[in-house]
Amino acid sequence: MAQSSQESIIGWPVRIVAVAFVLIGIIFLYFFITFDDETVEVPETLASTTYLDVVDSLLANADSTNGPQLLVQFACTTCHETVVAPLFEGLGERAGERRPPLTAAAYIYESIVSPSAYVVDGYVDVMPRNFRQRMTDKQLGDLIAYLLEL
């Protein structure tokens, strides 16, 4: 009798620690699983109009002259001026052919907000996934407008 009540006293801290571990595990798993949710969702089937409602409104008042400064501010150049990532030169011309039927503007938008949706041949899927959260609509619009002109 005495022994079993002692066991249950010892048992409680152990149970509390066990529950705490499980809770920490669940929280960790939650953040691990939701990490990818930072990217904008990619539709299963693409059309020539995909993303355009968003992209058109981003481009409506865009000022492409802010582009070069934004590329430096968001450190795009650390990868895109080296062998890590494709150079931006000529992007405006090839963007329309990268992922048909996406338009050039829609492709550039997707490349920034959901980089893993399409990985350019010969490169690794290392581009940060959280630019949509880090940029204002204005900054994103200005960047797309600038990249389209290249």
Q: Is 92 exposed, middle or buried (0-12, 13-18, 19+ CB in 10 A)?
A: middle
First to last CA, the chain: 83
- Of 35 and 123, which has the nearer Cβ to ligand HEC? 123
**Member of 119, 130, 133, 149 binding ligand HEC (CB under 6 A):** 119
Q: Which amino acid is residue 145, in one-letter code?
A: A
- ∠ Cα 19 23 26 (to 5°): 140
CA dist., res. 36 & res. 23, Å (int): 21
The residues in 56-115 that bind ligand HEC, with binding defined as CB under 6 A, are 74-76, 78-80, 84-86, 91, 98, 108, 111-112, 115
Q: Is 129 exposed, middle or buried (0-12, 13-18, 19+ CB in 10 A)?
A: middle
125 binds ligand HEC (CB under 6 A): yes
Among 8-16, 31-39, 48-56, 119-127, the segment contacting ligand HEC (CB under 6 A): 119-127
- Of 21 and 100, which has the nearer Cβ to ligand HEC? 100
Q: List residues near ligand HEC by CB under 6 A.
A: 74-76, 78-80, 84-86, 91, 98, 108, 111-112, 115, 118-120, 123-128, 131, 143, 147
